[in-house]
Amino acid sequence: MSALPLKAGSGALRRKLPKLRLNPVFLVLALLILAITWYNPSFIEPAGLMNFLRRAAPLVVLTCGQLFVLVTGGFDLSAGSLVTLTVIGGSLITLGDPAMTWPAIAILFAIGLVAGAVNGLVVHRLKVPSIITTLGMLLLLKGTALMWSGGSPRGYLPENFRAFGRLVWRDIPVLGILPVAVLVLVAVVAIAAWLLHRTQFGKLALAIGDNARAGELAGIGVGRVRVAAFVLSALSAVTAGILIGGFAGVSVDAGDGMELQAIAAGVIGGVQLLGGRGTVAGAVAGALALYALFTLLNFIGLPQPVRESMQGVILIAAAASAWRQRREG
């Protein structure tokens, strides 16, 4: 619950301290880490942190992708089911054969590309709100996953596929251990940061989210940017799926609800809900904070499903404060 009061006040804080450009989410994250360490002192050791990052990696990766959609003013509710499809598809394409891993990954990314493109085109061309479009895509992907696996996924993923999520290199200086997942995490974050903050595309995405009409009149290809955003979200979902396949095994609800977690994480990290503002650093911190919150709740002993309710509360609180800011601002 510690995320909430600070979130509601963050808008006011930011206005009262204009010089202090620090995103409050970092404070929240720091507090949560301290709290967890109190329960589990070994958390703060390199090995503990690395493990934490390894397990949080799928959510962080997914949030980085969702960030692009959020920043352009939409929502991608199909990301979770794409994660599931990746896991199931991975096992069905490879059939446990390590030689098929790379082709499988290529196919899965291709599927993600198509799914994202369809999302973007339906929203831009057919003007169907992204919530409905991506909900429909969720059904489509889920149905595909079920159909493909005949309803009950069997089989397993080959070792090298699972390596992404599972493999941990030992005896690394300073860090002690280095999970491959953390490398993937760093790579994805770097790419996302580059795309959003260091390319023309990123600036255009932020502009479109803020004022698509102004963008259109300035001659910007709004549709292209939007489709690209959805494609990025889908690709990040496939990546997250590959990671999850590594440590969770094959199941029908591997990715269930992850998109809502990603949205909540983005909002905690300071992403503006109708578009126009957001940073990768904030989104990453938001995802880590959310995951830290769940970890903390686990230590305290609160049951898993409370997680979902909390997300609901966070979503609403974030939306309520965001809207108030928009109206006053």
Partner 1 sequence: MSDIALSPVGRKAFRLPAAAIIALISAATFVGVALATGEAAQLSATGIGGLLQRMVALGIVAIGQTLVIVAGSIDLSVAHLISVSAVLASYVMQGSPERILPAVAAVLAVAALVGLVNGFLVARLAVNPLIATLGTGLILKGLLSATFDNFAGSVAPQFQLFAYGAIGPVSFSLMTLLILWGGAALILRRTVFGAHLYAVGGNAMGARLAGIRTERVIIGAHVLASISAGVTGLYLASRLGSGAPWVGRDGLYDLESIAVVVIGGTLLSGGKGGVAGTLAGVFLFAVLDAAFNMIGIDPFLKQILRGTIVVASVAAYTFRTKAFVA
Partner 2 sequence: MQGISKAFHGIAALDGVSFDCRAGEVHAICGENGAGKSTLMKTLGGIYRPDAGVILLDGNETSFSHPVLARRAGISIIHQELSLLPHRSVAENIFLGEERARFGFLDRRAMWADAAKILARLGSRLDPGLEAGQLPISDQQIVEIAKALAVDARILVLDEPTAALDEAEATRLLDLVRRLRQAGVALIYISHRMKEVFDIADRITVLKDGAKVATCDRAAVTPAQVVRMMVGRELSDFFPPRPGAPPGEAVLTLEGAGNAVVSDIDLVLRRGEIVGVAGLEGSGKSALARAIFGDEPFTRGRLRFASRDGAFTAPRQAVDAGLGYLSDDRKREGLVLNQSLRDNAALVLRGFEPALAPPGSGACTPERIDAQLRGVDMRAQSFEQLTVELSGGNQQKAIIARWLCRDPRVLVAVEPTRGIDVAAKTAIYRILRDFTERGGAVLMVSSELPEIVGLSDRILVMAAGRIVAELPAGVGEEEVVAHAVGHAAAERAASAGTAP
Which residue lies nearer to partner 1 by CB, 33 or 118? 118
Least CB distance to partner 2 at residue 279 (A): 12
Residue 123 partner contact from partner 2, partner 1, none using kind-dependent CB cut-offs of 5 to 8 Å: partner 1
Instruction: State yes or no: residue 65 binds partner 1 (CB under 8 A).
Output: no
Name the residue type at position 210: D
Instruction: State yes or no: residue 73 binds partner 1 (CB under 8 A).
Output: yes
Among 34, 216, 218, 221, binds partner 1 (CB under 8 A): 216
Q: At what angle do helices 222-248 and 46-71 cross, to 10 degrees?
A: 150
Interaction mask 10-39, partner 1, x per CB under 8 A: ------------------------------
Q: Enter the DSSP assignment of 275.
A: S
Taking the C-alpha atoms of residue 233 and residue 221, their distance in angstroms, rounded to an integer, is 19
Name the residue type at position 321: S
Nearest residue to 266 via CA among 61, 27, 18, 33? 61
Cβ–Cβ under 8 Å, residues 204 and 187: no
Instruction: State yes or no: residue 269 binds partner 2 (CB under 8 A).
Output: no
Taking the C-alpha atoms of residue 82 and residue 79, their distance in angstroms, rounded to an integer, is 5
Which residue lies nearer to partner 2 by CB, 39 or 194? 194
Identify which range of 57-65, 86-94, 191-199, 287-295 contacts partner 2 by CB under 8 A.
191-199
Site for partner 2 in 195-214 (CB under 8 A): 195, 198-204, 206-207, 210-211, 213-214
- Which residues pair with residue 169 across a beta bridge? 178
Least CB distance to partner 2 at residue 200 (A): 5
In order, the DSSP letters of 178-237 are EEHHHHHHHHHHHHHHHHHHSSHHHHHHHHHHH-HHHHHHTT--HHHHHHHHHHHHHHHH
Helix then strand then coil, % of the chain, to nearest 5:
75, 5, 20
Residue 221 partner contact from partner 2, partner 1, none using kind-dependent CB cut-offs of 5 to 8 Å: partner 2
Residue length of the chain: 329
Query: What is the binding site for partner 1 (CB under 8 A)?
Result: 72-75, 122-133, 135-140, 142-144, 146-147, 151, 209, 212-213, 216, 222, 226, 260, 273-275, 303-313, 315-316, 319-320, 323-324, 327
User: Interface with partner 2 by CB under 8 A: which residues?
Assistant: 195, 198-204, 206-207, 210-211, 213-221, 228, 272, 276-277, 329
